[in-house]
Amino acid sequence: MFHKLIMKNISITAQTLLRLSLGVGFILPVLDRIGLLGAPGSPNVSWGSWDNFVTYANSLMPYLSTKAASFFGLAATIGEAAFGILLIAGYKTRLAAYGSFVLTLMFALSMLFFAGYRSPFDYSVFVVSFSSLLLASLPDKKPQENNT
């Protein structure tokens, strides 16, 4: 019985850590895109501005106009912010995890086709995507007292 209790606590802890790491992993790029992590070219800043992000987004969607890429970049950014907040808060976790799975899978496939086959693996985008799918598939875990 002690072993089952330990395993259940490990499962709860792992699920919480996965939820938090995915959530923060969505929030930080959103903050970067709107310049809150520093100016373009600053250490640990990928874009530093919305315009730089749109240029990158357009490189992953070269079949779209810059205006259309900007729209889809905005939609992805709103999704990432929403999923990140929901995952960190632990609210509607399954919905947020499925949404983040779909969003990151589309991103990984765009990277694969338009940024080179190594890009989604170098940045672990498939790992993030499939981790989101795994999180969505886990049963809700809540600590319970065992009175036996």
Task: Encode pLDDT of 64-85 as tens digits.
Answer: 999 999 999 999 999 999 999 9
Report, as an integer, the average pLDDT of 121-142.
92
- In angstroms, the Cα distances linking 82 to 19, 58, 119 are 13, 22, 25
End-to-end CA distance of the chain: 9
Residue 92 to residue 47: CA distance in whole angstroms: 30
Residue 84 to residue 82: CA distance in whole angstroms: 5
pLDDT at 33: 96
Residues 105-116, buried b or exposed e (16+ Cβ, 10 A)? bebbebbbeeee
Q: Which residue in 69, 57, 68, 49 sits closest to 111, CA to CA?
A: 57
Report, as an integer, the average pLDDT of 102-113.
97
DSSP state, 146?
A: -
pLDDT at 9: 84
Residue 130 amino acid letter: F
DSSP state, 48?
A: S
What band does 148 get if pLDDT is binned at 50, 70 and 90? very low
What band does 7 get if pLDDT is binned at 50, 70 and 90? confident
The rounded Cα 86 to chain-centroid distance in angstroms is: 11
